[in-house]
Structure 1
């Protein structure tokens, strides 16, 4: 079978390039084939095709179960982290059922409840940092996002179990913080338990400890149900599907791990990128501060979330370096023509989010950070898609954007920051995501004069 626009580099080298330098791999490939190419980044007898043409990606993602089906099994790279019952790995009816159970806590009035959590944690974490000394912005923002997700998901504010979960989750995700360490997820033959000091052995032991904490929490909640609790775990435990069935203990565990890992890692990187660009470009920071100042000292959280320039800054940060580089896999169900090429049944398709965001015809001078793009033009959901698309679009999108905006508003309103280096940040693989390679080293120069950080009050 003739393959579509095949990258001719030997497959073993392609897989190595994809693990070590995914941005370089994609940018080199797109120079040859701007809209579609065949890759050999995974071991598979199936044809693996990258698509970076927005209208074609829309066709792929909106024809689920017809021409193109979602393929949870191709996301098995996430199995060690999230488990068999994760939304990442489910297909068909099971995916639809689980998604319906998970979605409600991330929308509507729940956002107001989370607003106070976000601002208070952001204030607390940065108030403990010394001034005039370099710190890793991404590390501190991950600390914030992890505490937010623990409070929002578990309703845990303090105590021994909270501290243990927080500590072990941080350690587990740091196992995959570099491209080399991430290879353990991509290369199953490396997944050997060679003792507690080996990378995979350390990961397995941390995962077991986290599981024990989660199962204990679930058991205690079931033994002593509290109808007044409004955290996501409590809502999931009370949720019922169309047949009146609750989620099983294993389903609860896997969805909690999915939310903890996805909601923590991705949001931390997105906030770090935004903070970097805001301080890399003084004119962006100045415009943002002027907009924030229009709200006064005690702005309503929804007013912050609606600020147009702040929204544009967040969107542009997610465009230049989207945390998720690809959509979840789809598989061709019947012979189909895409962009003039015939694809056979069984072909695996990935929408390439990173390359869509780098298209010159959509985003002139795509390497430049220009928030004004999002004020001057409305992009379709398949031209700007940092949270994916179709039935597998990220369920936590609303919370992630809300957290990003409130945390940035809190920090910029209170502190004067400077970057610790003039060296540009580059995107680097961190597990299955794209994160700042240098972790955005910054310095707190002092507190911003005559300004207070936004003090929001949650109201239901």
Structure 2
């Protein structure tokens, strides 16, 4: 059999990095058009990586029986300044497995009922601050809701001075990398130079230090409390024990709280803003969803989460513009043949969620928002995978989808919104994420 050659991008490394930072979707689409379904790029820091998006390749690479890929924490070094060196995301091997096993239980099971009621209540409290006729930015509203959920449900910090201070600090900190240009300090390590309090990186680090101090104080105080009745995720993680009987260290807890904030706040808020846009941009979608929601006998969180059309809307939202374009990088443990292309052992591989979700053979008219495609067809985890795959798959995906559905349902059942955008909304980089440019302008009708 003839071995086909995988092409490398011909543009200089720094041009690739600039293009992928400022115009990532255009960059990816051009690469796929010019180089095909497998290509090497230097757009990720100093690493040359193989971009993979064909479901057949993904299935071969991620199949656990093949053991082709390793997910080294070292490949995620770019996240260390943001999340800390004890974050689950930058851990390797056995430590990663043990930490993941410890963190996962609070995001599943019977706790979800309790979380669901809180999510609905918080959503109602936040949206009640809007006045009829008032224009607002959907992403700001959804960020306010998800930040409050993170602080109350995950961190267990209720209203008060500490709540307000931490909320303001975290909002300001995340806002420092909210544009494609400012996001470059996260994506390009060469820009991470502390030149004092007024420099972009200096300001970023100092805000992170203030957040660290508040979280560490909260962890130390919580360890002194004997409150078995607390069910917030931080309290459950403090009580959780590794198989050897030890608990997570204070540093591990702090860094993983930051990880949960970064992985679970802006990501969900962005997806909700997109969903509100698509629902209100297409009256038929809105009417069909409202009919499904109003036919519920009781606004039970578990029943809401099981609604098929609401589920399809969330899935299509995460398909058309996935919040995260790539999974975490992997490295091949041995050589592998992907549809006639030989990939050497030791190759860094970066699977691309966006390019998979835009395949015409899977999703006809991929730039059209059509929730029905998820009603009419069951997609495999190699065809639809907004939360990544393998050992680095998002451990909070069940919670995130649950939260997304409940927030949307609570808003639509209790309030009528109107889309105020005059032209189609397009995606733009926001840190590591892709968000609706401008945040989606809407107004409250009633």
The TM-score range, normalised by the shorter chain, is over 0.9
**Which residue of structure 2 lines up, in the alignment, with residue 88 of structure 1?**
89
Correspondence list, 1:441-460, <5 A: 441-446=441-446
**Which residue of structure 2 lines up, in the alignment, with residue 22 of structure 1?**
24
Name whichever of 359-368 and 330-339 sits farther off.
330-339
Aligned 8 A contact 1:330 1:350 in 2 = yes
Seen in structure 2, the aligned counterparts of structure 1 residues 183 and 64 have a Cα distance that, compared at 3 Å, is farther
Correspondence list, 1:117-156, <5 A: 117-156=118-157
Correspondence list, 1:196-275, <5 A: 196-275=197-276
Aligned 8 A contact 2:62 2:68 in 1 = no
TM-superposed CA distance for 1:65, in Å, is 9.2
The CA distance in 2 between the partners of 1:217 and 1:54, in whole Å, is: 44
The CA distance in 1 between the partners of 2:187 and 2:307, in whole Å, is: 40
Cα offsets for 1:297-355 (capped at 9, x unmatched): x4211111111000000000000011111011110122222221122222110110000
**Which residue of structure 2 lines up, in the alignment, with residue 157 of structure 1?**
158
Seen in structure 2, the aligned counterparts of structure 1 residues 10 and 64 have a Cα distance that, compared at 3 Å, is farther
1:68 and 2:69 correspond: yes
Local SS of the residue matching 1:180: coil
The CA distance in 2 between the partners of 1:334 and 1:305, in whole Å, is: 41
Seen in structure 2, the aligned counterparts of structure 1 residues 361 and 34 have a Cα distance that, compared at 3 Å, is farther
The CA distance in 2 between the partners of 1:195 and 1:282, in whole Å, is: 51
Name whichever of 13-22 and 224-233 sits farther off.
224-233
Local SS of the residue matching 2:346: coil
**Which residue of structure 2 lines up, in the alignment, with residue 331 of structure 1?**
331
1:178 and 2:179 correspond: yes
Query: Aligned-pair RMSD on alpha carbons?
Result: 1.5
TM-superposed CA distance for 1:404, in Å, is 0.7
Name whichever of 221-230 and 391-400 sits farther off.
221-230
Q: Structure 1: where are the runs of 5+ without partners? A: 447-460
**TM-score for both structures, normalised by structure 1:** 0.94
Name the count of aligned residue pairs: 443
Cα offsets for 1:215-273 (capped at 9, x unmatched): 10111111223222111111111111111111111111111110111110100001000
**Which residue of structure 2 lines up, in the alignment, with residue 357 of structure 1?**
357
Name whichever of 314-323 and 182-191 sits farther off.
182-191
The CA distance in 1 between the partners of 2:65 and 2:23, in whole Å, is: 31
Local SS of the residue matching 1:179: coil
Seen in structure 2, the aligned counterparts of structure 1 residues 167 and 3 have a Cα distance that, compared at 3 Å, is farther
Seen in structure 2, the aligned counterparts of structure 1 residues 222 and 43 have a Cα distance that, compared at 3 Å, is closer
TM-superposed CA distance for 1:430, in Å, is 0.9
Cα offsets for 1:56-87 (capped at 9, x unmatched): 11222234993221122121121111111112
